[in-house]
Amino acid sequence: MASDRTELRILVTGGSGLVGRAIERLVKGGERRDGEEWTFLSSKDADLTNVDETRAVFKRYRPTHVIHLAAMVGGLFRNMKYNLDFWRLNIHINDNVLQMAHEHAVAKVISCLSTCIFPDQTTYPIDESMIHNGPPHSSNFGYSYAKRMIDIQNRAYHQQHGSRFSAVIPTNVFGMDDNFNIEEGHVLPGLIHKTYLAKMNGTPLVVWGSGKPRRQFIYSLDLARLFIWVLREYEEIEPIILSVGEEEEVSIKEAAESIVSAMGFEGEVIFDTSKSDGQYKKTASNGKLRKYLPHFQFTPFNQAIKETCDWFVANYKVARK
């Protein structure tokens, strides 16, 4: 039950996922302030594609603030297979959550876009002004257009009702509690899982694609720290990119090498170029973030990889895979 001193009731949709669990770790680890009550939802609390279940969960928790993470999420190969589902399910989730936030007079909502939704044919670095400047990469158009509509909805709620609904645009996220499923997940958890099995079975590690594409990776705990700052301090309706700097961009091959080193794998590494490379790069600027937080320190990539690998090995039985 909420104490009578509760001023902020913060509802985190998608609270049981990679990003949600990272925020929960920080909140339970001391980030929670007096007067704040945090609730982390999973789909067991409500199927947010269903408007009645969404309404019921908002009535139950009466949030004053919402961090909206819930989504159908996946790596390149899941997106390539299910563009229609990524569009439909995410459009329903997003419309239900934002409309219920409006109907329940939620003071502030922060939703989650992704740097993979930007135009594929673009100049670099990408910045927040470029979201709608052209079609996204063909591999994930369903997810990308659904996410872009959050930005449209945020502007429309603000224009028509003065709602303070905004969004963040993380780059590729990784960390503990990720989805390590090899077919559906993202590249880093997929490679960590595959390296674990290769080491156990004495077989080669197979990296999909050429290894040439480039990515900026943000550690989930760093993203969580930034998300909590956005909830408390960021007042723009325009979204803000949450990413490491352009200079931190690495190739898939370099990322694989970091995982091989962190896992102590000494076997053969093979590149299966019959598998898609997906988008070559989506280099994003974190200049807007740096204007607000010039001194924010990201966890060094190799350290974050090592922490994630150690967590996975220690939690292999319970990890999502």
Least distance between ligand GFB and beta carbon 262 (Å): 16
Q: Footprint of ligand NAP on residues 82-101 (CB under 6 A)?
A: 93
- Candidates 83, 94, 114, 163; binder of ligand NAP (CB under 6 A) is 114
Letters for 147-186 (x = contact with ligand NAP by CB under 6 A, - = none) are -----------------------x-xx-----x------x
Q: How far apart are CA 167 and CA 150, in angstroms?
A: 8
- Candidates 93, 101, 176, 187; binder of ligand GFB (CB under 6 A) is 187
- Candidates 11, 27, 67, 73; binder of ligand NAP (CB under 6 A) is 73
Q: Counting contacts by CB under 6 A, is residue 42 touching ligand NAP?
A: yes
Segment near ligand GFB (CB under 6 A); pick from 52-60, 75-83, 227-235, 287-295: 75-83
Closest residue to bound ligand NAP by CB: 17
Axis-axis angle for helices 301-314, 187-201 (nearest 10): 60
Backbone angles phi, psi at 36, to 5 degrees: -100, 135
The alpha carbon of 183 is separated from its chain's Cα centroid by a whole number of angstroms, namely 18
- Nearest C-alpha neighbor of 149 from the set 97, 103, 210: 97
- Candidates 15, 20, 209, 239; binder of ligand GFB (CB under 6 A) is 209
Tell me the two tokens of residue 268: 């053969």
Tell me the two tokens of residue 251: 């190739």
For ligand NAP, the closer of residues 6 and 26 by Cβ is: 26
Q: Counting contacts by CB under 6 A, is residue 20 touching ligand NAP?
A: yes
- Candidates 54, 83, 140, 163; binder of ligand GFB (CB under 6 A) is 140
The answer to whether 75 and 118 have CB atoms below 8 angstroms apart is no
The answer to whether 84 and 74 have CB atoms below 8 angstroms apart is no
Least distance between ligand GFB and beta carbon 186 (Å): 3
Segment near ligand GFB (CB under 6 A); pick from 50-58, 187-195, 257-265, 294-302: 187-195
Is 124 marked active-site? no
Q: Which of 82, 143, 157, 219 is catalytic?
A: 143
Least distance between ligand GFB and beta carbon 39 (Å): 26
Least distance between ligand GFB and beta carbon 100 (Å): 25
Name residue 13's beta-bridge partners. 68
The answer to whether 108 and 68 have CB atoms below 8 angstroms apart is no
Residues contacting 119, CB < 8 A, separation 6+ = 130, 133, 134, 135, 136
Q: How far apart are CA 313 and CA 317, in angstroms?
A: 9
Instruction: Pick what 239 binds: ligand NAP, ligand GFB, none; C-beta below 5 to 8 Å, kind-dependent.
Output: none
- Candidates 13, 16, 79, 111; binder of ligand GFB (CB under 6 A) is 79
Alpha-carbon radius of gyration of the chain = 19
- Nearest C-alpha neighbor of 253 from the set 284, 209, 216: 209
Tell me the two tokens of residue 16: 């049981």
Torsion of CA 26, 96, 130, 186, to 10 degrees: 50
- Nearest C-alpha neighbor of 281 from the set 120, 81, 113: 120
For ligand GFB, the closer of residues 101 and 284 by Cβ is: 284
Residues forming the active site:
143
> By the criterion CB under 6 A, which residues form the site for ligand NAP?
14-20, 42-44, 47-49, 69-73, 93, 112, 114, 170, 172-173, 179, 186
